[in-house]
């Protein structure tokens, strides 16, 4: 049907996670090991999903790469340098959108580039193009409260893309959306991603979503959070949902991954 793996570039690593562990203190003053000895290398330009049940520490791992949380053990590195805090080279997109409610759509999207010192007119022009790309042309002067959840997440994506991070960190970005909206956003995200192939680290608990979007799926198990297995998804790109759902290779990935989760006694903890 299509040439497998044809689109893969010779890879160089951009993010290295080395023996990262994370211990939280619970309210009962007991230590809870959220992550245990995680090592993972992410290649430049790859779309990598971290898949696992809730409570497996997958979001924590993303926050560590973002520099929002410091690991209690090990280190995460970006291009060989240990990550010590947040920076514009790693752009987050959160499930909660986290837009600035006092800014319009345009104001939100221009915020990052303006902060990075881009001139007002340049930031404006670039942001308008991005807003059009995410399908929100005409909504530039709207405030976040006037938008639906799907629209807010489109704005959040545009806002992050606006300051040109090298890595996109997406934390269950479509988790708060209804099924129909989620599907549309998945399709649009793939279309946008296929233009410039930015490195994406994508946290999700949906097997379909992970397989549909990713080059690589990192399966995690919980208590403590560990990497179970890393699976390469060899499906042709550009991916079209209507073709993919009928593709036995896609179906096999989904079924295999679901079976692996089921085997490990975690039935029902995934939603």
Partner 1 sequence: MMPPTTLARRAAPVLACIGLLALWQVAALALKNDSFPTAIEAIRAIPSILGDKEALINIIASLRRMAIGFGVAVFVSIPLGLMMGRSRAVAAFFNPLLMVIYPVPKAALMPIIMLWLGVGDITKTLVIFLGVSLPVIYHSFEGAKAVEEKMLWSGAAMGLSAAQRMVWIVLPASLPEILTGCRTGLVLALITMITSEMIARQSGAGNILFNALDMGQYDTVFAMIIIVGAMGIGLDALFERVRAKLVRWSEPQFDIPLSFS
CA distances from 75 to 48, 99, 159, 166, 225 (A): 19, 29, 28, 19, 16
Residues in 183-242 at the binding interface with partner 1, rule: CB under 8 A:
184-185
The minimum distance between CB 118 and partner 1, in angstroms, equals 12
The answer to whether 146 contacts partner 1 (rule: CB under 8 A) is yes
Among 47, 111, 193, 253, interactor with partner 1 by CB under 8 A: 111
Binding mask 46-85 for partner 1 (x = CB under 8 A): --------------------xxx----------------x
The answer to whether 24 contacts partner 1 (rule: CB under 8 A) is no
Rg of the chain on CA atoms, in Å: 19
Strands of the sheet containing 31-43, edge to edge, are 31-43, 13-25, 73-78, 81-82
Angle between helices 149-161 and 179-196 (to 10 degrees): 20
Other Cβ atoms less than 10 A from the Cβ of 102: the count is 9
The answer to whether 94 contacts partner 1 (rule: CB under 8 A) is yes
Identity of the residue, 67 or 225, whose beta carbon is nearer to partner 1 in the bound complex: 67
From 18-26, 75-83, 90-98, 258-266, give the range in contact with partner 1 by CB under 8 A.
90-98
Binding mask 150-179 for partner 1 (x = CB under 8 A): xx-------xx--x-x-----------x--
Among 75, 98, 133, 254, interactor with partner 1 by CB under 8 A: 98
Interacting residue ranges for partner 1, rule: CB under 8 A: 66-68, 85-88, 90-92, 94, 96, 98-103, 111-112, 115-116, 142-148, 150-151, 159-160, 163, 165, 177, 180-181, 184-185
């Amino acid at each position: 049907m299509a040439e497998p793996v044809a689109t893969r570039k010779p890879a160089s690593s951009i993010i290295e996670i080395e023996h990262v562990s994370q211990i939280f203190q619970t309210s009962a003053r007991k230590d809870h090991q959220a992550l245990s000895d995680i090592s993972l290398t992410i290649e430049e330009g790859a779309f990598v999903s971290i898949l696992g049940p809730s409570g497996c520490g997958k979001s924590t791992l993303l926050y560590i790469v973002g520099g929002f949380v410091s690991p209690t053990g090990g280190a995460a590195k970006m291009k060989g340098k240990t990550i010590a805090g947040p920076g514009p080279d790693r752009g987050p997109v959160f499930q909660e959108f986290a837009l600035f409610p006092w800014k319009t759509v345009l104001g939100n999207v221009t915020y990052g580039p303006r902060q990075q010192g881009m001139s007002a007119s340049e930031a404006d022009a670039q942001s308008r193009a991005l807003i059009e790309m995410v399908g929100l042309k005409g909504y530039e002067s709207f405030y976040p409260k006037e938008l639906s959840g799907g629209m807010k997440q489109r704005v959040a994506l545009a806002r992050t893309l606006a300051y040109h991070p090298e890595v996109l960190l997406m934390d269950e970005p479509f988790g708060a959306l209804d099924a129909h909206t989620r599907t549309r956003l998945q399709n649009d995200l793939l279309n946008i991603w296929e233009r410039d192939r930015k490195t994406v680290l994508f946290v999700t608990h949906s097997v379909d979503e992970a397989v549909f979007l990713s080059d690589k799926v990192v399966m995690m198990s919980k208590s403590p959070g560990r990497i179970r297995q890393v699976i390469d998804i060899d499906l042709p790109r550009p991916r079209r949902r209507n073709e993919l759902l009928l593709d036995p290779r896609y179906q096999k990935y989904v079924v295999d991954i679901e079976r692996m989760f089921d085997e490990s006694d975690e039935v029902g903890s995934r939603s």
